[in-house]
Structure 1
Amino acid sequence: MAADGVDKDDKDILADLDREAGEYLKDAEIARILSAFKLDAYAILDLQPGVAESDIKNCFRRKSLLIHPDKTKNPLAPDAFDRLKKAQAELMDEKKRERLDEAIADARMLLIRERKWTVDTPELKSPEFAKDWREKSKEVLIDNELRRRKQMKAQLAEEGREQRKAEMEIEERKRKRENEQAWENTRDNRINSWRDFQKGGLKKKKQKTKPIG
Structure 2
Amino acid sequence: MLPQQSEFFAEVREVDRDNEVNRILWAFKLNPFEKLNLRFDATPEEVRKQYRKLSLLVHPDKCSHPQAASAFDVLGAAQKELNDEAKREVLNAVLDKARGDCGLGEEVRAERRKETKHDAAVALAATLHERGREGVEEDWEKTDAFHERWKLKARDVMAKSEWRKRKLTKRVRVPG
Q: TM-score range by the shorter chain?
A: 0.7 to 0.9
CA distance in 2, matches of 1:55, 1:115: 28
Q: Give 1:112's aligned amino acid.
A: R
Q: Give 2:7's aligned amino acid.
A: D
Equivalent residue runs for 1:103-182 within 5 Å: 103-109=94-100, 110-116=107-113, 120=135, 122=137, 123-157=140-174
Determine if the alignment matches structure 1 residue 96 to structure 2 residue 87. Answer: yes
Per the TM alignment, residue 115 of structure 1 is displaced from its structure 2 partner at its CA by 4.6
Q: State TM-score, norm by structure 2.
A: 0.74
CA gap 1:86/1:119 in 2 versus in 1, 3 angstroms: farther
Per the TM alignment, residue 132 of structure 1 is displaced from its structure 2 partner at its CA by 1.8
Structure with greater proportional helix content:
1
Q: State TM-score, norm by structure 1.
A: 0.62
Q: Cα RMSD between the aligned structures?
A: 2.3
CA gap 1:116/1:17 in 2 versus in 1, 3 angstroms: closer
Kept in 1: contact 2:32–2:79 (CA 8 A): yes
Q: Deviations over 1:70-113 (max 9, x none)?
A: 11211121221121111111111111111111111111112223
Kept in 2: contact 1:50–1:101 (CA 8 A): no
Kept in 2: contact 1:112–1:119 (CA 8 A): no
Could you list the runs of 5+ residues in structure 1 that have no partner in the other structure?
1-5, 162-213
Per the TM alignment, residue 42 of structure 1 is displaced from its structure 2 partner at its CA by 0.4
Matched residue count: 150
Q: Which residue in 2 is equivalent to 1:18?
A: 9
Q: Give 2:109's aligned amino acid.
A: I
Kept in 1: contact 2:59–2:69 (CA 8 A): yes
Equivalent residue runs for 1:45-124 within 5 Å: 45-109=36-100, 110-116=107-113, 120=135, 122=137, 123-124=140-141
Return the index of the structure with the highest Cα Rg. Answer: 1
| Percent of residue pairs bearing the same amino acid type | 34
